[in-house]
Amino acid sequence: MTDEGRAHLAGIIEGRRSVRRYTANPVPDDDVERMISAFRWAPSGSNKQPWFLIASRNAAFNAAAAGAVRDEVAGIVRRAPGFAQTGENLVRYATFFEKAPLVFYVAGEPQPSRWRKQLEALLPGHPAAGASLSWLVSTAAAIQNLLLTAHALGYGACWLGAPLVARERLERHLEPPDGRRLTAIIPVGRPAETPRPPARRDREETCRRVD
Ligand SMILES: Cc1cc2nc3c(=O)[nH]c(=O)nc-3n(C[C@H](O)[C@H](O)[C@H](O)COP(=O)(O)O)c2cc1C
């Protein structure tokens, strides 16, 4: 890769922001496919590709998903009024995706790892035995590929975890293939805001070199 290419890549990585407001401009098929392709080409543990992606430009479908989040939070607040303030914030950060012209719904597939299962059988209680998070971190890599590609194409996007408060309700609406678990929602559109980069923690606090 040339110096120019490297500088461009760093610019894409560092210039990506979580964008939460979008213009109504539709996202054309070619760009949707570029984002899908970036998602599919992520690395994954044992190359299991433990994910499923739903790309929706259907405003009614997306509004119904946001409605599911509101209904779930309203139900929680009815049962636990102390959650009212948190619920209000959660809804604010969990439902704006309905205003985006394109929404991706990401479902990961929790999968056991063969070697961890074997270890569990042979040495129960070993710290590496049992459940694996490989499916989740692999799906996260795919999400980041998608976000970077969206940014490189001039779109704004945002990784949303807050809607998972209504995961089961959302899964009834989205109907991902069996065994897939909703992991994130990602609205995408031309940016209608230019957010300032939120500060990063000090390098020394988050990185260490061993030479
Ligand atoms: C796992 C995860 C979940 C997130 N969930 C939400 C969310 O539900 N709503 C939201 O508005 N932003 C969400 N974000 C975006 C973060 O707030 C954002 O990445 C962070 O503030 C840093 O800003 P930047 O993405 O512009 O660098 C989430 C990000 C990640 C990685």
CA distance 62 to 59: 5
The distance from CA 137 to its chain's CA centroid, rounded to whole angstroms, is 11
Mean pLDDT by 10 residues, the chain (211 residues): 94 97 98 98 96 98 98 98 97 98 98 90 92 95 98 98 98 97 98 97 97 97
Q: Residue 112's pLDDT is what?
A: 85
- CATH classification code of 19-193: 3.40.109.10
User: In 93-116, which positions are buried (b, 16+ CB within 10 angstroms) versus exposed (e)?
Assistant: ebbbbbbbbbbbbbbbbbbebeeb
Q: How far is the CA of 210 from the centre of ligand 1 (A)?
A: 30
CA distance 209 to 205: 12
Give the residue whose CA is nearest to atom 17 of ligand 1: 18
Domain ranges of the chain: 19-193
Please state the atom number of ligand 1 nearest to the C-alpha of residue 163.
8
CA distance 26 to 100: 9
